[in-house]
């Protein structure tokens, strides 16, 4: 039997609506809980067995049992159902029972049937049998309850409206402030872009204007050092060599500034072809050998044999390697080490060459590592070690490597050294 499927009363009609009502509710309880539950409830309430439940699921009442006892048992069953399923479920059950009993006993006994059911259920059905005075009192009571509830609701709505108005006002203020700041930032950004453009233009013009006279100074100094203007004393030769080196650094700075200008304007030209790495690495290692010896720095190069060719602009990749190796020498300690490693790798959907340059130099402070590839940026310990420097080398190197489809990154520990890594794609056709 389902929860809402109620059968006709099993007891005789002469017993009356009260017992029929209890009996029908009993069937519902049995369908929900099973026969054991109502039997235990009967035993709890009536140890003397004034009321019990038969194995067939009928209510069994002694002859001298008072109607009050039946009510107690009835209410106990209703309490169990309400506790488990809620009052709405019980009200639905009782309404079904009420209609079934009306059909059985007739409308004339409706009030008698309702008297069998506790007063907190079937309120709508009871209204038609209440005296006028009681109905009026109920209406007044309900009206008062509704007015009180309405007053409470209005007060809550009023409080909430005030809270929302205050929140809206604050939100509007915040929005206005954000818009104002956004306008200020937009204006400041435009000014910075204008200044940056002016600066770039100045750098470009200055660099172009400087390169020609610096080249002339270099040619003149080289001619004097060769003795074209007559013999030099040792002191004169050493002094002019320092001038020549300083002029060379100025030329490098101007060239770097021009490279940055071309990178920013998208005019940095690349001549891509297939080259063997040895044709790029060997001249660079030869160039740095003398300077490394002066600083008593050991350079250990381990290049994997039979490396395939790479697609690159030979001169630009050579400049990148030169920059990393020269920095590894300049910022290293005497009797330090540099390890150059070149190996073939596979990953990221293709084959590539990974080049790493590791040194035992000053390292990069941790809090400055995120700025290291920015234009004109030099770490504080680098500035204190060697005063001159443009801060453009790593910016240019990163642009060149990424333009080749490679990646550039580093690992560094302050005062212990740095390792720079970069990758270059391998030519599909193999060796040149």
Q: What is the pLDDT of residues 314-347, one digit of tens each?
A: 999 999 999 999 999 999 999 999 999 999 998 8
Q: Is residue 167 part of a domain?
A: no
Q: Is the pLDDT of residue 131 over 70?
A: yes
Q: Do 44 and 104 belong to one domain?
A: yes
- Tokens read off for 347: 């990953």
Q: Which residue has the tokens 């006002």?
A: 169
Question: Rounded to two decimals, what is the model's pTM?
Answer: 0.53
Q: Which of 26-35, 189-198, 265-274, 301-310 has the lowest mean pLDDT?
A: 26-35
- Tokens read off for 228: 């074209």
Q: Is residue 152 part of a domain?
A: no
What was the pLDDT predicted at 60? 73
Q: Tell me the residue range of the domain where 278 lies.
A: 273-425
Query: How do residues 362-377 score in pLDDT, each as one tens digit?
Result: 999 999 999 999 988 9
What was the pLDDT predicted at 323? 94
**Pairing status of strand 337-347 against strand 298-303:** parallel
Q: Is residue 173 part of a domain?
A: no
Q: Do 227 and 329 belong to one domain?
A: no
Where a domain ends, among 265, 298, 330? 265
Q: Do 222 and 300 belong to one domain?
A: no
Query: How do residues 255-299 score in pLDDT, each as one tens digit?
Result: 877 787 777 777 788 999 999 999 999 999 999 999 999 999 999
What was the pLDDT predicted at 195? 78
How far apart are the C-alpha atoms of 399 and 273, rounded to whole Å?
18
- Tokens read off for 373: 């590839």
Where a domain ends, among 129, 153, 171? 129
Q: Is residue 223 part of a domain?
A: yes
Q: Do 277 and 314 belong to one domain?
A: yes
Q: Do 239 and 292 belong to one domain?
A: no
- Return the percentage of the chain with pLDDT > 70, whole number: 88
| CA–CA distances in Å: residue 430 to residues 234, 270, 274, 276, 425 | 53, 21, 9, 9, 11
User: Based on the structure, what is the number of domains in the chain?
Assistant: 3
């Amino acid at each position: 039997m389902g929860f809402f499927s109620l059968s006709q009363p099993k007891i005789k009609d002469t017993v009356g609506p009260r017992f029929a009502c209890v009996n029908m509710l009993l069937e519902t309880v049995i369908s929900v809980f099973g026969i054991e539950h109502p039997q235990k409830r009967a035993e709890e309430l009536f140890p003397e067995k004034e009321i019990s439940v038969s194995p067939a699921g009928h209510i069994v009442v002694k002859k001298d049992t008072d109607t009050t006892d039946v009510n107690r048992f009835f209410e106990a069953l209703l309490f169990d159902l309400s506790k488990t399923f809620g009052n709405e479920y019980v009200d639905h059950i009782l309404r079904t029972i009420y209609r079934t009993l009306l059909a059985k006993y007739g409308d004339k006994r409706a009030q008698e049937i309702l008297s069998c059911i506790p007063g907190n259920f079937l309120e709508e059905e009871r209204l038609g049998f209440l005296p006028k005075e009681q109905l009026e009192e109920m209406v007044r009571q309900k009206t008062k309850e509704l007015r009180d509830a309405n007053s409470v609701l209005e007060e809550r709505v009023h409080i909430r409206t005030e809270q929302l108005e205050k929140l809206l006002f604050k939100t509007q203020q915040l929005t206005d402030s954000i818009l104002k700041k956004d306008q200020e930032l937009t204006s400041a950004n435009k000014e910075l872009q204008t200044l940056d453009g002016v600066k770039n233009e100045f750098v470009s013009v200055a660099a172009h204007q400087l390169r020609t006279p610096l080249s002339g100074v270099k040619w003149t100094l080289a001619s004097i050092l060769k003795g074209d203007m007559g013999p030099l004393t040792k002191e004169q030769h050493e002094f002019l060599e320092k001038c020549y080196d300083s002029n060379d650094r100025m030329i490098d700075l101007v060239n770097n500034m021009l490279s940055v200008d071309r990178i920013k304007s998208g005019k940095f030209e690349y001549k891509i072809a297939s080259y063997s790495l040895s044709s790029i690495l060997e001249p660079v290692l030869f160039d740095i050998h003398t300077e490394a010896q002066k600083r008593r720095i050991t350079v250990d190069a381990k290049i994997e044999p039979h490396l395939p060719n790479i697609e690159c602009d030979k001169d630009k990749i050579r400049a990148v390697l030169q920059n990393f190796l020269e920095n590894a020498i300049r910022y290293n300690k005497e009797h330090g080490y540099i390890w150059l490693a070149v190996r073939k790798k596979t990953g990221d959907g293709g084959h590539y060459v990974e080049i790493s340059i590791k040194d035992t130099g000053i390292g990069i402070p941790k809090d400055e590592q995120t700025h290291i590839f920015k234009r004109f940026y030099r770490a504080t310990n680098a500035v204190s070690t060697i005063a001159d420097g443009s801060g453009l080398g790593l910016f240019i190197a990163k642009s060149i490597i990424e333009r080749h489809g490679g990646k550039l990154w580093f690992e560094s520990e302050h005062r212990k050294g740095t390792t720079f890594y970069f990758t270059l794609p391998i030519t599909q056709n193999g060796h040149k």
